[in-house]
Amino acid sequence: MTSNASATVPGGDARETGCTEIRSVLVANRGEIARRVFRTCRELGVATVAVYSDADADTAHVREADAAVRLPGEAPADTYLRGELIVKAALAAGADAVHPGYGFLSENAAFAAAVSDAGLVWIGPPPAAIEAMASKTRAKELMAAAGVPLLAPLDPAAVTAADLPLLVKAAAGGGGRGMRIVRELDALDEALASARTEATAAFGDGEVFVEPYVEGGRHVEVQVLADAHGTVWTLGTRDCSLQRRHQKVIEEAPAPRLPDALRDALHRAAAQAARTLDYRGAGTVEFLVTADGRAHFLEMNTRLQVEHPVTEEIYRLDLVALQLSVAEGRPLPAALPEPHGHAVEARLYAEDPAADWQPQTGTVHRIAVPDGVRLDSGLTDGDTVGVHYDPMLAKVVAWAPTRAEAVRKLAGALERARIHGPRTNRDLLVRSLRHPEFATATGLDTGFYGRHLDALTATGPADAAGDALCALAAALADAHGRSRFGGFRNVPAGPQFKEYACGERTHRVRYRLGRGQLSAEGFPGVRLLALAGDEVVLEVDGVRRTFALARYGDRVHVDSPLGARALTALPRFADPTARTEPGSLLAPMPGTVVRIADGLAEGDRVAAGQPLLWLEAMKMEHRITAPAAGTVTALPARTGQQVEVGTLLAVVTD
């Protein structure tokens, strides 16, 4: 990992200034943010304590901590959302401070107060400030009184067609959970119910509210940092407009193409919000900027943001170190640091963007990025993406003197990264960064994926040709690995046959190899230059390319200049029992059936695309819809049922 950020901490030694000295920090979180905080603590010489659920018992953040305390159970409601257990863990491990990370209890005023009441240092804003901003509805009232422009909430019972479109939003928490867009009044009740269910599962609070949904708006935010001595820093802007399911995917700093007057206005509004709350520590004030250049307050996140690395990179600061410094009582310098260059961050998720962003699970065998970019990840090689938590694998961050250079650097690094395991959104990220609207910053708004997702996930002839060459390389390497003679033989070999699945395509490779010569059906002009079990060098029409291969069971990952491919080796003879009846709806992931459509029963007629039931997995709700118009001939699913991948949920007969 490389980074421009350094562990910059203002002020002197805590013992000399009379401030509280933090010696040991418990992080009330997991995964990437826990590892991120631990990294800074190690640099500062501060001891670390982890907490973990049973599902996280062997994860990286547990292995890296100096001490770890078990939270019995797997679901967030039983573990990371149990504030009393976390305070007890901190006391048991001898920690003297608690860092909440983001998500879970990071914006829970009662938890912050409980930490302080236990004699521990809370590395965050005062509970009163958290309480004021914890409910988005109360936050809007407070900001309106302070003169900060905003979109006023609407009464769900009084909205009309003239108010459409609407946004249903969880009052607590963030990360896109508990949010629904409503374009028809008839859909409002279902959206409210769904958002409440998801918000309760993610945050333990089902309160939601309704506000106007602005089409084509930009999500722009300001990083603030305040101390107990009256100093408030506004550390520039970030643009987080590229979102899926209202959750950020690509973020950058500074926000491009903002007029200076608007940028200054956002800084003033953010500083006013912090001073109104008598804020301490790191926080983020988020705005929606409309196409006509008007800014509206959305919310204030009273915690560190997922996307904080882009701010660190351009200001060359360590925001976690500054959080600890402020919590110890040290003052910030009066003068703001100067920003340098541009930084862009991409969130790498285990998900399938082409299948409604469906989360993926499984073992991450390898995750590595080229030198020159920053990798913040909650995983190390061999760790598993489960069903209980967010499927984010890592954040990849690139810094450069200019935006164009940073965007190009990040796209190239993602393209060359070695990511072996579940399907990811890596290809979508690369294509997004190279899309003309993003590359020129002329199409930055929250509707980007609504306009371009189909094109960004489509495959064409070049992709098919690349798949085929990767399948050929995999077949050759497989034969080499199984043959005691190696790849080249001095006598003619019989024809070899191998079949691989790559996405929706199946590639059949038939070739003959002998006396150093390759003859492969459908590959004219292809020469084999070198062959090993993990590397194949092919020359295609005079162009030499190297294919690196890694096998994990029947999965073969191929990395080459043509891009990364994940192939599945198919058996020579299909299993005749592996059949599914037409119209069967199978669970696409492990999860819990949280709802079945009201009144749905066997024998009912349903329309194509009609929601039948909802699965909860990875803290998100996933709709299972009718594949075609027909009759529900079987409905074995039950509310509360735990299901595995492939579990039969319903059958709709056309």
226: pLDDT strictly greater than 50: yes
Mean pLDDT of the chain: 89
Could you say which architecture CATH assigns to the domain 461-569?
Answer: 2-Layer Sandwich (3.30)
Which residue in 238, 303, 431, 565 is the catalytic one? 303
Order of all β-strands in the sheet with 281-289: 295-301, 281-289, 218-226, 232-244, 247-253, 342-349, 392-400, 374-377
249: pLDDT strictly greater than 60: yes
Question: What digits encode the pLDDT tens for the residues 587-631?
Answer: 887 788 989 998 899 999 999 989 999 888 776 788 899 988 999
Instruction: Give residue 546's pLDDT.
Output: 97
Say which CATH class 134-148+215-457 falls into: alpha beta
Instruction: Give residue 490's pLDDT.
Output: 52
Fold matches, 134-148+215-457 and 584-653: no
Instruction: Give residue 425's pLDDT.
Output: 97
524: pLDDT strictly greater than 60: yes
Q: Per-residue confidence at 580, pLDDT binned at 50, 70, 90?
A: low
Instruction: Give residue 367's pLDDT.
Output: 97
Cβ–Cβ < 8 Å for 66, 48: yes
Chain centroid to Cα 537, Å, comes to 35
How many Cα atoms are found within 13 Å in the side-chain-facing hemisphere of 173?
A: 27
Could you say which architecture CATH assigns to the domain 161-212?
Answer: 2-Layer Sandwich (3.30)
Question: What digits encode the pLDDT tens for the residues 294-320?
Answer: 898 988 999 999 999 999 999 999 999
- Give SS3 for 366: strand
Judge whether 303 counts as a catalytic residue.
yes
Could you say which architecture CATH assigns to the domain 23-122?
Answer: 3-Layer(aba) Sandwich (3.40)
Q: Higher model confidence: residue 221 or residue 191?
A: 221
Instruction: Give residue 485's pLDDT.
Output: 46
Share of the chain above pLDDT 90, in %: 64
Domain positions in the chain are 23-122, 134-148+215-457, 161-212, 461-569, 584-653
60: pLDDT strictly greater than 60: yes
- Give SS3 for 281: strand
Say which CATH class 584-653 falls into: mainly beta
Instruction: Give residue 29's pLDDT.
Output: 98
574: pLDDT strictly greater than 80: no
Q: Residue 623 pairs with which residues in a beta bridge?
A: 614
Residues with Cβ within 8 Å of 116's Cβ and at least 6 positions away in sequence, in order, are 122, 127
Q: Higher model confidence: residue 3 or residue 384?
A: 384
- Give SS3 for 611: strand
470: pLDDT strictly greater than 50: yes
Least confident among 169-183, 420-434, 493-507, 516-530: 169-183
7: pLDDT strictly greater than 50: no
Q: Per-residue confidence at 200, pLDDT binned at 50, 70, 90?
A: confident
pTM: 0.85
Cβ–Cβ < 8 Å for 412, 404: no
Least confident among 209-223, 320-334, 351-365: 209-223
Instruction: Give residue 11's pLDDT.
Output: 46
